[in-house]
Amino acid sequence: MAVDSSELKDIILNAKDLPAMPHVASKVLELAGNPDTTAAKLQQVIADDQAMAARILKIANSALYGCSRKIKTLTDAIVMLGFNTIRSLVVTSAARNMYIKSGKTMGLKERLLWEHSIGCAIACRILVSVRHPQLAEEAFLAGLMHDIGKLVLNQYASDVFDEIVQDVYNEGRGFIEVERELLGFDHTEVGFMLVNKWKLSSQLEEAIRFHHSEEEFNENRLVLCYLDLGNNLCKKQGIGFIEDPDIDLVSLKSNEVLGFNEGEFEALTEQLSKTLESEMEIFV
């Protein structure tokens, strides 16, 4: 059932009404982008949010980052992982809090959205490490935030979003198609607005805005291409609402740019499965 979406669209796409980046996270991102910032200063700010500090230490010690020795303090984490990685871990912590409905738990819908986002983030990081390791953190954040617009839709219009989810799940249709039919806009627009409000990066905004637009996939938008591959790898594995084991990753438009072969995808898929099996609970 279509809804009169003009008022809803005005509310959702109005930056003033979108969730703000938590204060500590915003301060950390500001400091991490300043070349004069010291590890001690960054540690001091992160320590003001004990939950964030604890989560950063847990993730820093995960197999995903593969440090040779246990990281015991925030200062160790900052020095060993670097400001860019700390930035993505802070955004991870801030984003996760948006998925908590009440108290300290996620509902089933929110958990599926979050698990897909984390799966996609890790898939992007694994994929990019093969060809363009310098893009690892930006690709991770693209995977993490690509569907954040769905979460905002769930918060502002939960009844309509429930209907969207049911249609996607039962009819096998894509989110974009159903969102545009019922709302007149889609989660890519909403996600773009949120990331713009959070001032993360223009590259990240671009990846989120165009991650369902194949015509935008090219060698000048590598993060966008990695995001598409990571997203489809998760769909092929059934990580999230959609499971499509028949996706041919090799023939995807994004892979025309990146050029992975079947053998590489098999190895990367196995690596993703092992990583998620051992690390997912750290993020959830």
How much is the pLDDT for 218? 96
Is 223 within 8 Å of 179 (Cβ atoms)?
no
| 275 domain residue, yes or no | yes
- Structure pTM? 0.89
Q: Which of 103, 126, 113 is nearest to 154 (CA)?
A: 113
Most confident of 68-77, 96-105, 252-261: 252-261
| 53 domain residue, yes or no | no
3-state secondary structure at position 19: coil
Residue 251, burial from CB neighbour count under 10 angstroms (0-12, 13-18, 19+) = exposed
| Gap between the Cα atoms of 100 and 137, Å rounded | 24
Q: How far is CA 11 from CA 14, 19, 83, in A?
A: 5, 12, 35
The 10s digit of each residue's pLDDT in 43-81 is: 999 998 888 888 888 888 887 887 778 888 988 888 888
Phi and psi of 18, rounded to 5°? -75, 155
| 199 domain residue, yes or no | yes
Is a pLDDT exceeding 50 seen at residue 180? Answer: yes
Is a pLDDT exceeding 80 seen at residue 5? Answer: no
Is a pLDDT exceeding 80 seen at residue 284? Answer: no
Q: What is the DSSP string of 73-101?
A: SHHHHHHHH-HHHHHHHHHHHHHHHHT--
Is a pLDDT exceeding 50 seen at residue 1? Answer: no
Question: Residue 225: which CATH number?
Answer: 1.10.3210.10
Least confident of 104-113, 140-149, 225-234, 250-259: 104-113
Residue 104: band (very low, low, confident or very high) from pLDDT cuts 50, 70, 90: low
Phi and psi of 141, rounded to 5°? -65, -35
| 253 domain residue, yes or no | yes
Is 276 within 8 Å of 119 (Cβ atoms)?
yes
| 205 domain residue, yes or no | yes
The 10s digit of each residue's pLDDT in 120-142 is: 999 999 999 999 999 999 999 99
The 10s digit of each residue's pLDDT in 191-230 is: 999 899 888 889 999 999 999 999 999 999 999 999 999 9
Once rounded to an integer, what is the mean pLDDT over residues 163-168? 91
Q: Which domain holds residue 166?
A: 6-20+105-283
| 48 domain residue, yes or no | no
| Gap between the Cα atoms of 40 and 33, Å rounded | 15
Overall domain count for the chain = 1
| 257 domain residue, yes or no | yes
| 158 domain residue, yes or no | yes
